Amino acid sequence: MEQKNNVKEQIIAYLMLIAGSFLFAVGDVMFVNPYLLAPGGTYGLSNVLNTVWPWKISYYAICMDIPLLLIGTWILGPKFGFKTVLSTILIFAFTWILETFWGYTPVIHEGIVDAATMPTMVQILDSEQFFIPDYFLNTVVAGIIYGIAIGLIFKSGATSGGSDIISMIIHKYTKISLGTLVMVVDSVITLTTFIAFKQIHLPIYSIILIFIEGKVIDLIVEGMKSYKTVYIVTNNLEAMRNFILNDLKRGGTLFVGKGLYGGVERNMIYVSLERADLIKLKNNLRHIDPTAFVNILDSAEIMGQGFKALPTE
């Protein structure tokens, strides 16, 4: 039975990897590239190079991704795994198919006009046509698509690879935090749009896209549920215990500690709750123990009985 569940989980993981890779290519070719955006990563830089020196995005990206994977494996060890390599290949393939058969025509725009009727260039589709952009809507949609794509890839067990490998290598030798380095590398890539096209709104929209993408990734990977960790110092232990066990249907942990000021022993309950349960607790606290002291903390993720299942690997 356990073996069947593992096979099912692996099939789902690979389906998420394929879907995420396809959506990433859709977001890049149909939404990001036509608007000259570069939201970090090797594909962000490839979009800029594709516009300045026309060559397929997929070719530029794979020429960077393969050496980065090889260098990363040499310096950091074989930590990227088969799924990351497969994701790199799938994104390359899907991107090549879309740019070959779809081209770089945007999905979102406010109309397409002939070059002869457009006195100033807005954005080139080909040598004879322009489109009138809707930057804000396109950025929002692109951020959502990118976020879903990368979220699915992360959930499948793959990593993003690409330019993140540069950050990992620098982190190894400088000990600067990985999060800071990822932001620096992506920001440098984002700024290439200003260097190449001399338009300040391009890196700004790219940064907005990255922000939306990050929020959607968190939503996909962590889910919509919001968890809270609550510490309750109470003089009415039984009433508080009964409410948590019987009304909230939750367990908890009891600690006994001494106050620093008076040295008096008091009971403290540690409990993890979903947002709806926390509201119920707050609404009833005054009735249960009006002298209670409560500390509420955000919890990024909670695993174990009653919450998210423990990882299988």
Quote the mean pLDDT of the chain.
Answer: 85
In this prediction, residue 277 carries a pLDDT of 85
Q: Which residue has the tokens 């606290």?
A: 285
In this prediction, residue 82 carries a pLDDT of 84
> What CATH number has the domain spanning 227-299?
3.30.70.120
Closest CA to 164 of 20, 41, 58: 41
Segment 122-164, tens digit of pLDDT: 566 655 678 888 999 999 999 999 999 988 988 887 876 777 7
In this prediction, residue 5 carries a pLDDT of 66
In this prediction, residue 145 carries a pLDDT of 96
Segment 158-167, tens digit of pLDDT: 876 777 788 7
303's tokens: 């695993």
Question: Is residue 174 over pLDDT 90?
Answer: no
Domain with CATH 3.30.70.120 in the chain: 227-299
In this prediction, residue 251 carries a pLDDT of 87
Q: Return d(Cα 215, Cα 247) in angstroms, integer.
A: 33
Confidence of residue 300 (pLDDT cuts 50, 70, 90): low
Of 146 and 1, which is predicted with more confidence?
A: 146
Segment 249-296, tens digit of pLDDT: 888 889 888 877 777 888 899 998 887 788 888 888 888 999 888 898
In this prediction, residue 267 carries a pLDDT of 87
